[in-house]
Structure 1
Amino acid sequence: MFTKIIYTVLFLVGISFNAQSKDGINFQTKNLEEAKKLAQQENKLIFIDLYTTWCGPCKLMKKNTFPDAELGAFFNKNFISLYIDAEKEGVDLAKKFKIVNYPSFLFLDKNGELVQYDYGYYNAKQFLTVGYSVLEKRNLGNKTPTLAEVKGKLVGETIPDFTAQNQFGNTFSLSQEKKKTVLVFIRGQWCPYCNKYVESLQNIAPELESKNTQLVIISPEKPEFIAKTIDKTKTSYSVLYDENYKIAELFDVLYIPERKTLDLYEKHLGDDFKKSRSDETGRLPVSATYILDENQKIIWRHFNPDYKVRASLEDILKQL
């Protein structure tokens, strides 16, 4: 009888321990690519605890911080969490983000881009504050940045597939183009600097063809305004209508001008500015130029917030 009681107590204690172990952060056994897919499906961020086996604070975080119920509830609701050994499966991550301190915490968006980096020991209450700050930053990041804030995608990053209509009525799909691609963002046919630049790009058409490279112009303007771009520049390149600014957002080149700048454009340009795009917010792309390889990875970029400064034709050709 006594033996049965002992086994019963031990059984109940085991149940209690297992229940408690599930209260904290739910670290999933997935790689980063799998986590990104899940984060996209569930509209969550990605949290990576990058640790080493010899790191004392790493062990304390695992023992004291991550099992906290309140912390777990928050992180499980908002993050896909991964627990990765920096000296084994996390070697590439450590190199990519130049990690030298442990534990290191990578907070990524659903596309795997860095939202915030942190490191060191935190108790549960402190780490909950870190989580809230990351979430707030993500929410702020959903707003269109100003010209001073916009940074653009960087060399080495891969652009997801997109489709758009060109001036010929054809659908352009990035994933179907198995060649290098030069993408040039313009502000619209009302911009004399854009028109002059698009016209000059025609001079390198033979060289691009010889290098099996296509050049595509991205415009935020509707087809009837793109027709004005064609008329003014006589370009033979594909000009894509970036409806709802989807392509500009993929490249992180979309910004909102200052109010005084918008007032100036609307006063002097009228409907050519206000009514030419998907909406009347006044948003514009930075006049950036990107070169992508056959796998949609950025291999070169020219990014300057000053719309008067464009990529030189010589620099474009040097990268091909």
Structure 2
Amino acid sequence: MFKTIVLSLCLLIGISANAQSKKGINFQSIDLEAAKQIAKKENKLIFIDIYTTWCGPCKLMQKNTFTDPKVGELFNKNFVNLAIDAEKEGVALAKEFKIVNFPSFLFLDATGKLVQYDFGYYDAEQFSTVGSSVLSKVSSNMAPKTLDMVKGKMVGDKIADFSAKDHLGKTFSSAKEKEKLILVFIRGQWCPYCNKYIESLQNLAPELKAKNARLVIISPEKPEFIEKTLSKTKTGYTVLYDEGYKIAEAFDVLYTPDSKTLAAYTSKVEGFATSRSDNSGRLPVSATYILDENKVISWRYFNPDYKERASAEDILKQL
């Protein structure tokens, strides 16, 4: 009987200790690429503790700060957390971010872009403040743009190289294109105005070739939905999946519809909530851009009214 009681107490103590250990930051045993996928799916940031085994402050952070329940609650809710040894699996990462101080802390977005860098020892209260400041910074930078706030890149602006995959998984890279590029932004296969417009551009192909130009369609929808665009329009042009809206953001054509419009699209358009890389409801203005061989904007058609599009005649005149 006494032995049973002792065993039960040991079990309870073990469970209690285990529960206590889980109150702090939950560091996951995954690589950065896996962390990006989770962060994207769960709409989180990425926190990386870069340490060494000989670093005293690193050990104090692990013992006193990362185990704090309030720190754990904040970081587990908002970050995918990694702890990486700078002298083992973190050698390349330390080199990439030029890390010479330990511990170092990287706060990244879901694409791996640096949001904030910090280093040194922090107690639990101080480190909670650091984490909260990162979240505030990202929140202010990610405030959604309304339609009237979006102005689009202007003629004369040089566009940084971008890449995206088509419905077959083939990568398109603007850096490799030596022709003029005509970029047509569409809202998706569910938009009848987009489909009609793409159809109206089909006869341009021979003339575009003669003018050393290539037309590319940019869609925010996933490959399986792009297949529907191809089926509905019979287009022979390349249609790219703008995953994460990176191209739309680069051209400043990305906006969030008002709540009434968003509710209508979500309820009436089949697959609207699942067709894009997130459920934010963001859409591109249906703009058309011409880039010269140096990737500088030479002409644009930008109209917030999705019913209005650049004419085929105007596009040809500008080439």
Q: TM-score when scaled to structure 1?
A: 0.56
Counterpart position of 2:73: 73
In 1, Cα distance between equivalents of 2:220 and 2:182: 16
- Alpha-carbon shift at residue 7 of structure 1 (Å): 6.4
Q: Deviations over 1:245-300 (max 9, x none)?
A: 9749314413379xxxxxxxxxxxxxxxxxxxxx999797998789xxxxxxxxxx
Per the alignment, in what secondary structure is the counterpart of residue 208 of structure 2?
coil
Deviations 1:199-255 (A, max 9, x none): xxxxx65xxxxxxxxx75323375749968x97xx5333323334697493144133
- State the shift of 1:303 in Å: 7.8
Partners of 1:183 and 1:241 lie apart in 2 by 17
Describe the shift of the 1:135–1:53 C-alpha distance in structure 2 as closer, same or farther (beyond 3 A): same
The letter for the 2-side match of 1:242 is I
Q: 2:165 aligns with which of 150, 161, 165?
A: 161
Look up the match of 2:82.
Answer: 82
Distance 2:176 2:184 in 1: 11
Whether the 8 Å contact between 1:255 and 1:286 is mirrored in structure 2 is no
How far is 1:10 from its partner? 5.2
1:176 matched residue in structure 2: 170
The corresponding residue for 1:14 is 14
Q: How does 1:253-272 map to 2 (within 5 A)?
A: 253-255=250-252
- Structure 1: any 5+ residue segments left out of the alignment? 164-172, 185-203, 206-214, 258-278, 291-301, 310-320
Deviation of 1:81 (Å) = 0.4
Distance in 2 (alpha carbons) for counterparts of 1:104 and 1:152: 35
- Counterpart of 1:220 in structure 2 is 185
Matches of residues 93-242 of structure 1 in structure 2 within 5 Å? 93-142=93-142, 143-144=144-145, 159=163, 161=165, 175-177=169-171, 181-182=174-175, 216-220=181-185, 224=197, 234-236=207-209, 237-242=213-218
Structure 1 SS opposite 2:36 = helix
Q: Contact 2:106–2:116 (CA<8 Å) still a contact in 1?
A: yes
Structure 1: distance between partners of 2:18 and 2:160:
45
Number of the residue aligned with 2:28: 28
1:274-289 correspondence to structure 2 within 5 Å: none
Report how far residue 89 of structure 1 moved: 0.1
What is the aligned length? Answer: 233
The TM-score normalised by the length of structure 2 is 0.57
Structure 2: runs of 5+ lacking an equivalent: 152-156, 187-193, 222-240, 255-281, 300-319
The one-letter amino acid paired with 2:165 is D
Asked whether the 8 Å contact 2:181–2:290 carries over to 1, the reply is: no
Contact kept? 1:50, 1:105, Cα under 8 Å: yes
Give the share of equivalent positions with the same residue, in percent: 42
Distance change (3 Å), C-alpha of 1:91 and 1:308: same
Task: Let me know the Cα RMSD of the aligned residues.
Answer: 4.5
Amino acid in the other structure paired with 2:122: Y
CA contact (8 A) 1:286 1:303 kept: no
Provide the C-alpha distance between the structure 2 equivalents of 1:125 and 1:101, rounded to a whole number of angstroms. Answer: 21
